[in-house]
Amino acid sequence: MKMNVLLTVCLFFGLAAAASAEDGVFHLKAGDVDFYSIQDKNGEMDNAVFGNSEAVARLAADGKSPSSFNVFVVKKGETVILIDTGVGGQMLERLKEAGIPPEKVNAVFLTHTHGDHVGGLLRGGTAVFPNASLWISASEWKFWKESNPSQAEKSAKAYGEPKIIPQEEKTPLVLPEVTAFNIAGHTPGHTGFLITSGDVKIAVVADLLHSSAIQFADPGINARYDRDGKAASEVRRKWMKRAAEEGLFFAASHVPFPGVGKVETVENGFRFTPVKHFYDFTVRDIDGNDISLSRFRGKKILVVNVASQCGLTPQYKELQELYARYGGEKFTILAFPSNNFGRQEPGTDAEIKEFCTKNYGVTFPVMSKISVKEDDMHPLYHWLTEKKLNGVKDAPVEWNFQKFLIDEKGNWMDVVPPKEKPDCEKILHWIN
Ligand SMILES: [Zn+2]
């Protein structure tokens, strides 16, 4: 979107992805590459931006679309690429929270030059990212010089003449995992970036769309910020189709934070499913209290589905020993009783609690009984067991006492099968 015609109302509102959304820092591990979405500012958009057609009214009934200003970071080792710079909101603070001070940024890639994407480049005429080179496509550079010559000139003075991004998928840019592609329409040189690492692919599509509620369902609807509406809707449809076919993560600048998710084809259009983070889930403890998993931020977490009448039930002993030794600031265990395997956890929460306290002296958090497979699977277990959600691996639960390893940033790290004990080499090594 364009800054001067931006948001009539700009207010904070509750997003579904509660915990990490509040923090404004989202992290996805893709092979050796760390990908971040950083929220510069929250907001919402008046649907008048999309023309008040019947379709718009139907798709977003309350007249507004939740929105956001997201910037993206690709980091590998000491190399940091920042994609866009936001509107001048909280980006810098949040980059620091993610461990990325401005001096660490090696390259700033611009998707396009609207004010809400270049607004964080300069402060008092000097470069906010003093060690970064500035990258832009040739046609967008030309457009910038024509549409906002003084800003283009100041930026070139602060960062040096911009390096030109070839908008083709062949040429790696700064990192071997990163290439660019042409999504002209929104602006003449609008550029997307493809990050390919391990078997994860992320397409940063910037302002390819402005409302996830409206434009996935009907990619033919443009925002008034799209300069060339026909080109914008064609390239929108093309990339949504490709994302659905290739299982790409989409990362969009104005989709509600983190703006990252998967695209599916549905009748006449597409559907977007935003990613969730481990910390976005709420579970119920064994006494019936709701607990946000964000409370465990900063700890390594062993998630295990337990049962009282299983041949593996004695693993409670090793789990408790592990917790007694390492539990605290840096490590915890979260146990989820489930009756999915051999009906070996038939009891009530109260009975389960009594069982594990009396027999194993359990002091680690035990949660309320849930299902860990099939139709009634708890949403957390969908995330733990499905690659399309956790971004790493499909790992269906095989039996009671399967262990999932979550790192201190909430990333899915590994899975250990039921029969391997809680104090096996792999887990001990991981904790230490
Ligand atoms: Zn924008």
Q: What single-letter amino acid sits at 160?
A: G
- Residue 161 CA to ligand 1 center (angstroms) comes to 23
Residue range 279-431, CATH number: 3.40.30.10
Q: Sketch the domain layout of the chain as residue ranges.
A: 3-274, 279-431
Q: Is 289 exposed, middle or buried (0-12, 13-18, 19+ CB in 10 A)?
A: exposed
From CA 321, how far away is CA 432, in angstroms rounded?
Answer: 15
Q: How far is the CA of 100 from the centre of ligand 1 (A)?
A: 23
Structure tokens that stand for 391 in this block: 């971004």
Residue where the block lists tokens 């935003």: 274
Residue 16 is predicted with a pLDDT of 28
Out of 3.40.920.10, 3.60.15.10, 3.30.70.2190, 1.10.1660.10, the CATH code matching 3-274 is: 3.60.15.10
- How many angstroms does the Cα of residue 254 sit away from the middle of ligand 1? 7
268-321 residue pLDDT tens:
899 998 888 898 899 999 999 999 999 998 999 999 999 999 999 999 999 999
- Structure confidence at residue 238 (pLDDT): 98
Contact 418, 402 (CB under 8 A): yes
CA distance 254 to 248: 18
Using the mean position of ligand 1's atoms as its centre, give its distance from the Cα of residue 191 in Å.
12
Closest CA to 201 of 38, 406, 388, 412: 388
C-alpha 46 – ligand 1 centre gap (Å): 14
Q: Distances from the Cα of 231 to the Cαs of 69, 142, 168, 216, 224, in angstroms? A: 23, 19, 17, 16, 13
Q: What is the pLDDT of residue 19?
A: 32
Domain 3-274 identical in fold to domain 279-431: no
129 Cα to the center of ligand 1, angstroms = 20
Residues with CB in 5 Å of ion ligand 1: 1, 116, 207
Distance 117 CA to ligand 1 centre (A): 6
pLDDT in tens, 106-137: 999 999 999 999 999 999 999 999 999 999 99
Q: For residue 181, how far is its CA from the centre of ligand 1 (angstroms)?
A: 17
Q: Note the pLDDT tens digit of each residue in 37-53.
A: 999 999 889 999 999 78
Active site residues: 310
pLDDT digits (tens, 9 = 90+) for 48-90: 999 978 899 999 888 888 999 999 999 999 999 999 999 999 9
**Which of residues 131 and 391 earns the better pLDDT score?**
131
Q: How far is the CA of 283 from the centre of ligand 1 (A)?
A: 36
